[in-house]
Amino acid sequence: MFKKSHLVVVATLAIAAGVHWVSVPVYATEQGEQRQEARDTKQEGRDETREAKEACKEGDESSRPECRQEKRDTKEETREEARDIKQQ
């Protein structure tokens, strides 16, 4: 019926296709975890930024524009951290 060499070729192709299909879900899972970690980082940054701005407004050492700029700087740092997580 089939020669032994044909069976070896078919088996090799089946194994290669199986490995390819297994690696795609693993990559997708890893990518999803990175996105979630980046979202969590951004959310924590929002909370920290809010608290820092409130503390800045309560103190008399900074003006409102300085407090706003501090908040912007903190948010940008958080965004950069989230981007770094997603690019790993």
Q: pLDDT tier at 6 (50, 70, 90 boundaries)? A: low
* pLDDT tens-place string over residues 9-63: 767 766 766 655 555 667 678 888 889 999 999 999 999 989 888 888 888 788 8
Reported confidence tier of residue 7, pLDDT bands at 50, 70, 90? low
pLDDT for position 40: 93
pTM of structure: 0.58
| Distance between CA atoms of residues 9 and 15, nearest Å | 10
**Other C-beta atoms within 10 Å of 78: how many?**
20
Residue 80's identity, in one-letter code, is E
Residue with tokens 């194994």: 15
